[in-house]
Amino acid sequence: MNSIIFTAGARLLVALVFVFSLFMLLRGHHLPGGGFIGGLLGAVAFIIYSLACGPEETRRALRVSPEGIAVIGLGIALLAGLVSFFMGDPFFTGQWYWVGGDSYETAAFSINSVLVFDIGVYLVVLGGILSLTFAFEEET
């Protein structure tokens, strides 16, 4: 697509959508959002970019192949599940470390395995969707 309006607009849109996708990922545990929806939005950002600048340019922007991103995400998600193994809990039990308090109400923020899992999901969805769209775009 060779529209200068679209190409110029895409620059703004891509950044906005991508930042929004990260926002959705991070607010996921206590409010609507999370890895899956964040990953979809992230994929949308890159799809807009590839519509504006072509899939080749997008692959360069991604640096890692989309399949690679998906597989690494799968590994991260698995690792998040494995953390509970060392704590003696069933698989995927969330592990929480509260900073500056001892619960959601009192703590300033938390470090937890749930977010790690969500990041894994984010990458799986992002990589999966992008590898599909690239396959469609590059064939023609």
Partner 1 sequence: MSWVLVLPIAVPFATAVFAYLARNTPAGRWISLAGSVLSLIASAALMVAVLREGVIAAQMSNWDAPFGITLVSDYLSAVMVVITAITGLATAIYALGEIPEETERLGFYALFQVLIAGVTGAFLTGDLFNLYVWFEVMLIASFSLLVIGGGKDRLDAGIKYVALNLVSTLVFLSGIGLLYGVTGTLNMADLRGAVAAADNQGLITVIAMMFMVGFGVKAAVFPLFFWLPASYHTPYFAISAVFAGLLTKVGVYALMRMFTLVFVGDVGFTHEILIWVSLLTMFTGVIGAAAQMDFRKILSFHIISQIGYMTLGLALYTPLALMGGVFYLVHHIIVKANLFFVAGLAKQYAGSTDLNRIGGLYKSAPLLAALFIIPAFSLAGFPPLSGFWAKYLIVKAAIELNMWFVTFVSLLVGLLTIYSMTKIWGYAFWKPHPEGYDPTPDRAPPRVTAAMITPIAGLAAMTIIIGFFPEPFVQFAQTAAMQLLEPTDYVTTVLGVQP
Q: Which residues bind partner 1 (CB under 8 A)?
A: 67-68, 71-72, 74-75, 78, 81-82, 85, 89-94
Q: What are phi and psi of 15, to 5 degrees?
A: -60, -45
Give CA–CA dist 42/45, Å, rounded: 5
Closer CB to partner 1, residue 57 or residue 138?
A: 138
Closer CB to partner 1, residue 22 or residue 87?
A: 87
In 3D space, the residue among 62, 64, 56 whose CA is nearest the CA of residue 14 turns out to be 62
Instruction: Please report how close the Cβ of residue 60 comes to partner 1 at its closest, in angstroms.
Output: 20
End-to-end CA distance of the chain: 13
Instruction: Please report how close the Cβ of residue 84 comes to partner 1 at its closest, in angstroms.
Output: 8
Closer CB to partner 1, residue 7 or residue 110?
A: 110
| DSSP 8-state secondary structure symbol assigned to residue 63 | -
- The encoded tokens of residue 114 equal 């749930």
Tell me the one-letter amino acid at 88.
G
Closer CB to partner 1, residue 32 or residue 90?
A: 90
Instruction: Please report how close the Cβ of residue 124 comes to partner 1 at its closest, in angstroms.
Output: 11
Instruction: Please report how close the Cβ of residue 83 comes to partner 1 at its closest, in angstroms.
Output: 12
Secondary structure of residue 112 in the 3-state scheme: strand
